[in-house]
Amino acid sequence: MKKISLSLDIVSTGKYIPSAVITNDDLEKMVDTNDEWIVSHTGIKTRHKAVGEDTSDLAYKAAKDALEKGKVDPETIDAIIVATITADFASPSMAAIVQARLGLNHRDITCFDVNAACTGFVYALQMATALVNTGPYRHILVIGAEVLTKILDYTDRNTCILFGDGAGAMIIRQGQPHQKAFFYTASEGDIEDVLSVKEILRMQGRRVFKFAINAVEKSINRLLELDEARLDQVTKIIPHQANYRIIDGVAELKKIPLNKFFLNLEHYGNTSAASIPIAFDEYTQEQPLREGDKIMMVGFGAGLTWGGVVFTR
Ligand code: UT7
């Protein structure tokens, strides 16, 4: 592939987490598991569940949060992209539903959804960044939103303990020339159902675990190569929040201090396409980005898909 540097300016971020919580103790009442096993094997303590809300509701609320935090006029949003594998329905897209909920129906806006599972937000951000660099787009709203609890089998202890619901949003525009962004996205078609959703989510955990460590390592290496940067120049890595042991494994493999990674998975579990934008929102609320900061985001998931972005503020 050609090496292309795009420019990316993140105007604001937002999130929405439904209030109902599923604790490890709650799961102990449903399947043969316990808090000690879940924490030691995953790092997850709680995850949230949407009650009476679906994916478009979560997406809309995260979008509202990003618009409000950035004081962005919704009338300047020229495209909406939603990454999800748990859309309320197949069509219309969640992006079109969010457009309507934001009251922007009278405007010409590009709206579509992206399905790249847990790498979905990275893919969506890549599309959005390409559009703002080449098209007549002022602001693009990029959302990752999932209600995974509706596709979980609460009799399968291998999967039901891992996932939760939530949404994260980001508003972007074309950046200054020094605000460079490099993307790397990849896929390896899987016909063996290593990780799939056919009505219900099914997964071969061990195989996904091994793939994930390899995918994160490969993505970090490729992004550093594209940016001609060293790891010590990266301010923070926002990984897909799937399992503490996956991040710990990568940290050990690449000799990266664990505090280089931002982690919040103990609160939300794996929220698939929503996990990176939720984590990035929380990171930037704690630590607003400064000029020169270099941020890396890395995702992996069903497809199998993986990839990331590295950008400089
Ligand atoms: O976005 C990507 C999505 N997916 C992932 O990131 C998942 C990646 N994989 C993983 O995170 C890990 O493979 C798991 C957390 C899913 C499982 O951990 P593991 O250390 O790979 O366990 P395992 O699947 O090899 O199973 C070890 C044992 C088995 O029992 P036996 O056969 O040794 O008696 C499992 O049945 O642990 C058992 N087990 C559990 N025990 C208590 C599996 N799930 C549970 C559970 N509670 N929830």
Q: Is a pLDDT exceeding 90 seen at residue 2?
A: no
In this structure, the chain runs to a length of 313
Distance CA 139, CA 44 (A): 35
Our mutation pick for probing the ligand 1 site, out of 84, 121, 154, 243, counting the most ligand atoms within 8 A of Cβ, is 243
pLDDT in tens, 22-58: 999 999 999 999 999 999 999 999 999 999 999 999 9
Q: Which option is the CATH number for 6-173: 3.40.50.10210, 2.40.10.340, 3.40.50.970, 3.40.47.10?
A: 3.40.47.10
Ligand 1 atom nearest 27 alpha carbon = 48
Express each pLDDT in 273-313 by its tens digit.
Answer: 999 999 999 999 999 999 999 999 999 999 999 999 999 99
Residue percentage of the chain with pLDDT more than 70: 100
| Best CA proximity match to 177, nearest among 5, 292, 2 | 5
Do the Cβ atoms of 243 and 209 come closer than 8 Å? yes
Distance 193 CA to ligand 1 centre (A): 16
User: What value does the mean pLDDT take over residues 216-240?
Assistant: 97
* Residue nearest atom 22 of ligand 1, based on CA coordinates: 206
> What is the predicted pLDDT for the residue at 257?
95
Sheet architecture: strand order including 236-239: 6-7, 180-187, 305-312, 294-301, 236-239
Assigned token pair, 161: 């303990």
Domain 180-312: CATH superfamily is Thiolase/Chalcone synthase (3.40.47.10)
Residue ranges per structural domain of the chain: 6-173, 180-312
